[in-house]
Amino acid sequence: MIAAAKLLIAFFILLGALISLAASFGTLRLPDVYSRIHAASKGATLGIISVLLGVFFYFWFLHGMITAKVLLGIVFVFLTSPVGAHLIARAAYNTGVKMEEKSVQDDYEGYKKFMIKKRKNTSL
């Protein structure tokens, strides 16, 4: 029973560490800001969540404590980390950071131009 619990804990913590490692390789190797944010936010979120799950199971199975702080941390990271990535990406786009040259389509640019033209027409 204890051995199975230890296996489960080790699985979650190693999985989280590997996902975090993959996320850091993604931020190093991907070409532009947006794909780097994609790798960093998703990978780091899932990695941290699995490490925290491993910690939660460790305290539950081996020490008999249910730590609500760790569960709250999981919920909080899951809630806020994608929003942080969204805000960074939007700030990068609004300050005019270029996408990679191989990228095909930019729908938001046309939308922004349309909105600016509409605003000019209504003000006249």
Partner 1 sequence: MKKQQTNDVILQTVTKIACFIILLFSFHIFLAGHNNPGGGFIGGLMTASSFVLLLLAYDLKTVQNILPVNFIYVAGTGLLISICTSAGSFLFGAQFLTHSFGYFDLPLLGKTELATAVLFDIGVYLVVVGVTMTIIQTIGERE
What DSSP letter does each residue of the chain carry, written as one string? -HHHHHHHHHHHHHHHHHHHHHHHHHHHHSSSHHHHHHHHHHHHHHHHHHHHHHHHHHHHHHH----HHHHHHHHHHHHHHHHHHHHHHHHHHHTTPPPPTT----HHHHHHHHHHHHHHHHH-
Per-residue contact track with partner 1, 1 to 40, x per CB under 8 A?
----------------------------------------
Residue 101: CB minimum distance to partner 1, A:
28
User: Does 65 help bind partner 1 (rule: CB under 8 A)?
Assistant: no
User: Does 72 help bind partner 1 (rule: CB under 8 A)?
Assistant: yes
| Residues forming the site for partner 1 (CB under 8 A) | 69, 72, 75-76, 79-80, 83, 86-87
